[in-house]
């Protein structure tokens, strides 16, 4: 790596402190329905396991999203336009971003944001060598927290926020609206949001997407306990917990849990956390939308859905949203 590349791959570091991780874990495990924030799945191993999930037959989401993007890339690019500053929330390994960067005419800058620091550094370095003229300003952060966005050197004509993967599905309805509202303010006047949204479908398809045959999703879910053991001095016995994911049709969401297989006491440092047999830790929600519901959510957050691309079966959608002018000027 030459010094120019090194400079371009400096991470703006707002990675959550261990203290904060500990506090959130403790608060979650003290609730009547125990829960853990899904953002903590993504340590090095978790990010790797998520990449494995993305190659599974049952996990249709990334495959469909990529197919939709590739089919409509010309139209997408025309809407995004030249000299845009692209900001991505939860960029992961940037597979989908590359489709955009391969086609975008003269982007001003790219700001990838992710909580997984090591992966972010690696991916940013790879992008720096793939796109030599592009300013890349990576940010390691929990993007639901307050952090400062870097100001790219080159002035841009507009800000495009990219939020693929249906990660919006991890937010409960009110936080989802609040987060989209925040994105609208980041977009600024004339800005836009390109977002991937997973759609309601046959519940058996959904069930298998989160209960794969090879048990990769189970390993991904259980890795959270391993991470807590390692980083927060925990003693979760992984054999005593079981991955359990199901579609909750009333709430239109997949719920992922870890179910305690016996009465047991888990320690976190010198704290004791009791579990009853069959009690669960709720580790993730993944909401599924229909197009009208999402349109309403977007409108409530100050966005107008300008374009929806989807597949024949309407399993997944990529949507282009612009700020409604009466709002958030
Ligand atoms: C990365 C949030 C889009 O909710 O489908 C995959 C994470 N969890 N399998 C999703 C996940 C279980 C994924 N997102």
Per-residue pLDDT of the chain (329 residues; tens, 9 = 90+): 555 555 557 888 888 889 999 999 999 999 999 999 999 999 999 999 999 999 999 999 999 999 999 999 999 999 999 999 999 999 999 999 999 999 999 999 999 999 999 999 999 999 999 999 999 999 999 999 999 999 989 999 999 999 999 999 999 999 999 999 999 999 998 999 999 999 999 999 999 999 999 999 999 999 999 999 999 999 999 999 999 999 999 999 999 999 999 999 999 999 999 999 999 999 999 999 999 999 999 999 999 999 999 999 999 999 999 998 764 44
Q: What is the pLDDT of residue 328?
A: 45
Q: Ligand 1, closest atom to CA 92?
A: 1
For a substitution probing ligand 1, which of 64, 164, 167 has the most ligand atoms within 8 Å of its CB? 167
Q: What is the pLDDT of residue 181?
A: 97
Q: How wide is the angle at C-alpha 249 spanned by C-alphas 246 and 250, nearest 5°?
A: 125
Q: Compute the distance between CA of residue 240 and CA of residue 243 in angstroms, rounded to an integer.
A: 10
For ligand 1, atom 10, the nearest C-alpha belongs to 286
Give the closest residue to 130 by CA, choosing from 42, 9, 3: 9
* Beta bridge pairs of residue 39: none
Give the closest residue to 288 by CA, choosing from 206, 225, 233: 206
How distant, in Å, are the alpha carbons of 3, 25, 91, 210, 305 from that of 317? 40, 33, 18, 19, 12
Alpha-carbon dihedral sign for residues 173, 176, 178, 180: negative
At a CB cut-off of 8 Å and minimum separation 6, what does 27 contact? none
Ligand 1 touching residue 217 (CB < 6 A):
yes
SS3 90: coil
Structure token digits, residue 33: 């329905």
SS3 101: helix
Ligand 1 touching residue 169 (CB < 6 A):
yes
**192-198/316-323 β-pairing:** antiparallel
Residue 61 CA to ligand 1 centre (angstroms): 9
Asked if 64 contacts 50 with a C-beta cutoff of 8 angstroms, the reply is: no
Rg (CA), the chain: 20
Ligand 1 touching residue 167 (CB < 6 A):
yes
Q: What is the pLDDT of residue 160?
A: 98
Ligand 1 touching residue 319 (CB < 6 A):
no
Q: What is the pLDDT of residue 289?
A: 98
For a substitution probing ligand 1, which of 40, 47, 50, 89 has the most ligand atoms within 8 Å of its CB? 50
Helix (H) or strand (E) holding 248: strand 241-248
pTM for this entry: 0.95
For ligand 1, atom 2, the nearest C-alpha belongs to 167
Q: Where are the alpha helices (DSSP H) in the chain?
A: 3-8, 18-29, 44-53, 61-71, 73-80, 95-103, 117-130, 173-187, 203-209, 216-231, 291-300
For ligand 1, atom 14, the nearest C-alpha belongs to 167
Q: Ligand 1, closest atom to CA 284?
A: 8
For ligand 1, atom 13, the nearest C-alpha belongs to 167
Please count the other Cβ atoms lying within 10 Å of the Cβ belonging to residue 3.
7
Ligand 1 touching residue 196 (CB < 6 A):
no
For a substitution probing ligand 1, which of 48, 88, 284, 315 has the most ligand atoms within 8 Å of its CB? 284
């Amino acid at each position: 790596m030459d010094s120019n590349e090194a400079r371009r791959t400096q991470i703006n570091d707002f990675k959550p402190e261990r203290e904060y991780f500990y506090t959130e874990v403790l608060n979650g495990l003290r609730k009547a329905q125990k829960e853990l924030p899904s953002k903590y799945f993504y340590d090095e191993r978790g990010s790797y396991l998520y990449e494995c999930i993305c190659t599974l037959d049952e996990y249709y989401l990334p495959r469909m999203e990529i197919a939709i993007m590739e089919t409509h890339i010309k139209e997408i690019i025309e809407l995004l336009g030249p000299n845009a500053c692209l900001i991505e929330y939860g960029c992961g390994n940037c597979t989908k971003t590359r489709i955009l960067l391969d086609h975008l005419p003269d982007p001003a800058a790219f700001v990838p944001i992710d909580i997984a620091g090591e992966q972010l550094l690696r991916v940013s370095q790879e992008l720096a060598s793939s796109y030599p003229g592009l300013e890349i300003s990576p940010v390691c952060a929990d993007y639901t927290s307050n952090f400062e966005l870097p100001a790219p050197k080159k002035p841009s004509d507009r800000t495009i926020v990219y939020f693929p993967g249906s990660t919006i599905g991890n937010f409960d309805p009110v936080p989802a609206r609040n987060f989209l509202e925040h994105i609208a303010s980041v977009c600024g006047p004339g800005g836009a949001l390109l977002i991937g949204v997973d759609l309601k479908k046959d519940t058996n398809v959904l069930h298998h997407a989160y209960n794969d045959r090879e048990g990769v999703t189970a390993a991904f879910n259980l890795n959270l306990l391993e991470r807590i053991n390692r980083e927060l001095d925990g003693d979760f016995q992984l054999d005593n917990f079981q991955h359990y994911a199901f579609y909750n049709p009333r709430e239109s969401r997949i719920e992922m849990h870890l179910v305690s297989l016996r009465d047991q006491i888990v320690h976190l440092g010198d704290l004791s956390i009791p579990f009853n047999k069959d009690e669960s830790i709720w580790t993730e929600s993944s909401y599924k939308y229909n197009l009208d519901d999402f349109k309403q959510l977007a409108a409530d957050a100050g966005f107008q859905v300008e374009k929806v691309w989807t597949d024949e079966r309407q399993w997944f959608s990529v949507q282009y949203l612009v700020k409604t002018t009466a709002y958030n000027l």
